[in-house]
């Protein structure tokens, strides 16, 4: 582990990544179809990070790549509906660790 790095650094990075994915999904839903360059401009995220996120979201079936740009799939609504439950579960796990 690099000097000054914490065991929490990777957790925080993952949380930031999840946040970026969620924001990207929401913007894609609002502006679809939308390309990498436009997503990069709207979100203020470098194109290489947009590409990476889109690849992961496509792999999970949440984004559909088309020649006109990214579209959200029919899994979007269920994913967004489940977010609160997933966050609650994460908070519960954190609280159990904190209490132990």
Q: Look up the CATH number of the domain holding residue 54.
A: 1.10.10.10
> In the prediction, which pLDDT does 98 show?
87
How does DSSP classify residue 72? E
Is residue 1 in some structural domain?
Answer: no
Rounded CA-CA distance 74/82 in Å is: 14
Stated pTM of the model = 0.78
Backbone angles phi, psi at 6, to 5 degrees: -115, 155
pLDDT of residue 1: 47
Local confidence band at 2 (pLDDT 50, 70, 90 cut-offs): low
- Where residue 83 falls among pLDDT bands split at 50, 70, 90? confident
Over the stretch 9-44, which tens digit does the pLDDT of each residue have? 888 888 888 889 999 999 999 999 999 999 999 999
In a domain, 4, yes or no: no
Segment 84-96 shows an average pLDDT of 89
Domains identified in the chain, total number: 1
Check residue 73 and give its pLDDT.
Answer: 94
Note whether residue 3 is domain-resident.
no
What does the block give as tokens for 4?
A: 């000054």
Asked if residue 20 is part of any domain, the answer here is: yes
Quote the domain boundaries for residue 60. 10-99
């Amino acid at each position: 582990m690099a000097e000054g790095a914490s065991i929490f650094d990777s957790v925080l990075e993952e949380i930031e990544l999840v946040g970026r994915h969620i924001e990207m999904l929401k913007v894609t839903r609002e502006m679809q179809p939308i390309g990498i360059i436009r997503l990069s401009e709207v979100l203020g995220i470098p194109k290489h990070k947009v590409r990476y996120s889109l690849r992961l979201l496509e792999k999970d079936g949440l984004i559909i790549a088309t020649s006109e740009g990214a579209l959200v799939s029919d899994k979007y609504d269920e994913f967004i509906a489940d977010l609160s439950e997933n966050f609650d579960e994460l908070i519960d796990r954190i609280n159990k660790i904190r209490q132990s």
